[in-house]
Structure 1
Amino acid sequence: EAHTDFIFAIVAEELGLFGAAVVIGLFVALTYFGVRVALETADPFGRLVATGITTWFGVQAFVNIGAVVAVLPITGVPLPFVSFGGSSLVVTMIAAGILANIASHTD
């Protein structure tokens, strides 16, 4: 459905290249933040969790945007924080909270 998994196409259509670039830039910034948190935390478990969550967000965004622009096959992966759905948005928000908690405990 266009309003769920293909929301990036709607954003790009309504807001143009600038809107699409902003969405991509926000995901790049989120990935950079997650990598920085993973590198700065002293706890080995926190480092692994931060790396996993960051990789999850980055790969999920890459696959969704790649599928929308017809570079990758369509897999039904939702765009984190943008596509809405039953459990996807809830689990994404929980993971973001865990990442923020790890960031608050860095030295």
Structure 2
Amino acid sequence: MELTDFDADHHLLDLPGTSLLVFTSTGCASCRWARRELPSLSLPIQRLAWVDAADNGGLVTRYEVFHLPALFVVRDGHFYGALQSKLQTAELIQALDTALSRPAEDLP
């Protein structure tokens, strides 16, 4: 699912389950790898939600994205923060568990 400055809040607030929100850019080699490989990983999420950082500066600013790819967790319309993890299945699952154990916040 591709999200933009115009529709991200609507989708993230309404979608049930866990979304991994991923900010990428076409000029970033790690981002291209993430776009190619993340969909095939067995992660405990319902969906990947992609944001093209180059085209959606409003979301980049609101989420305080400083490096790419940047990953965030949203579950049932609640924000659980950024994931600090290598893009490997076991580490991502651990980071998701840690994020979801924190108190939820409003979307940025």
State TM-score, norm by structure 2.
0.28
Higher helix proportion (structure 1 or 2) = 1
Larger radius of gyration: 1
State TM-score, norm by structure 1.
0.29
